[in-house]
Amino acid sequence: MATKIVEVHPGIYEIFLPLPMRPTIINVYLLDCHGAWTLVDTGMNSPESITALEEAVAEVGIKIEDLDAVVATHHHIDHFGASGEIRRRSHATTHIHRLEAERAGRMIEFGKMSPHDRPESRAFFVRHGFPIDQLAPIGMRPAWMGTSMYGPVTQPDRFIDDRDVIKIGDRELEVIWTPGHSPGHNVLYLRKEKVMIAGDHLLPKITPHVGIYPDAEGTNPLGDFLNSQLKVQNFEVDLVLPAHGGVYHDHRHRANQLIEHHRYREAEMLDLTRKAPQTAFEIAQQVFGGEERPIFHVMAATFETLAHLELACFEGRARRSERGERTVFQAL
């Protein structure tokens, strides 16, 4: 049987839980707080993931019921989807940022409908050039949405915020608010150990999705994400524990790589608009490829493109204008 748990630092265990999508594994982290046990992130609420978690914690001699605290980096299904089941079984004190708890509740509501059913979402898609009228509602959300696989705590025991210190046993977890991938994303810093539990903020091989969605117009999530990459570089870190991919050491190098990647991608997008203004959907089709892809992936590419274009507008490298009922962007 494949190993499900590895001690990556004294008393800190990396647990590998299965996902039915890509990436196919999420790393969650079990902390021995010497008199208390803390789980950072939960995996999704699937039988396979819960069984893997049970088997992993059993290797260090505990059960899910023995958990004292759950701390979430953010609300996404692979990070917080099993929090309801885990709290039901363990009565663990559950911590998450207020913005993430709100979005968890919203995701449950959205699971009952499609973008076609919400006038404000439909208008958003049309405005940014997405051919919503040509697409079937079934493909416009992930397969797990609206199922029991997402069973989050929507009324957490404690809201966490930037610079909070969560004291559990003899451990102190410093909260570093890192908005971008999601508005209330946090990484957790163990100052004494010089360990950073990074969630999706600092992945070693892949870039986390940063997009603008129908309920987030007027925001600048990519600007937030890049600022958050600068912010984490102020901390001394010997070991980075990401949610996907292997543990690694040089967090400043990786943060700068992510900044450079997005700056390059923005320049690539703006180059396409120099001859004529285009919608976010039109640009996304050229940058991410127009070949046959799942509709949900096409949506994500459009939202990510929009985040780059809005950042360029915020920072004065592009302008937006109206072309009929469409919003178009052009480099300055």
pLDDT at residue 122, as a whole number = 86
pLDDT at residue 291, as a whole number = 61
**What percent of the chain is helix, strand and coil (3-state, nearest 5)?**
35, 20, 40
Q: Cβ atoms within 10 A of the Cβ of 155, count?
A: 8
pLDDT at residue 12, as a whole number = 98
pLDDT at residue 170, as a whole number = 96
Element (H, E) at 109: helix 98-110
Write the CB contacts of 24 (distance below 8 Å, at least 6 apart in sequence): 18
Amino acid at 122: R
Mean pLDDT by 10 residues, the chain (332 residues): 86 97 95 97 97 97 98 97 98 98 88 66 91 71 78 97 98 98 98 98 97 89 98 98 98 98 98 96 90 80 97 97 95 97
The residues facing 95 across adjacent strands are 71, 158
Q: CA 242, CA 313: separation in Å to the nearest integer?
A: 31
Instruction: HSE, CB side, 13 Å, CA atoms: give it for residue 31.
Output: 26
Q: CA 289, CA 251: separation in Å to the nearest integer?
A: 31
